[in-house]
Amino acid sequence: MSDIESKTDPEHIAHAAEFPPISPAPPNESEAHLESLADIPIVLTARLGRSTLSIGDILKLGPGSTVSLDRDVRQPVELIVGDKVFALGEVLVLDDKFAIRITELARAGGGHR
CATH number for 95? 2.30.330.10
E strands along 4-105, which residues? 44-47, 77-81, 84-94, 97-105
Mean pLDDT by 10 residues, the chain (113 residues): 56 75 70 78 93 96 95 92 93 92 83 58
Does this model's pTM top 0.75? My answer is no
- Give the domain range for residue 88: 42-51+69-113
Q: Which residues pair with 89 in a beta bridge?
A: 77, 102
Tally of structural domains, the chain: 1
Tell me what pLDDT residue 16 has. 77
Tell me what pLDDT residue 20 has. 81
Residue 64 falls within a domain, yes or no? Answer: no
Q: DSSP 3-state assignment of 43?
A: coil
Tell me what pLDDT residue 21 has. 82
Tell me what pLDDT residue 95 has. 92
Q: Cα 18 to the chain's mean position, in Å?
A: 35
- Dihedral sign computed on CA atoms, order 25, 31, 35, 38: positive
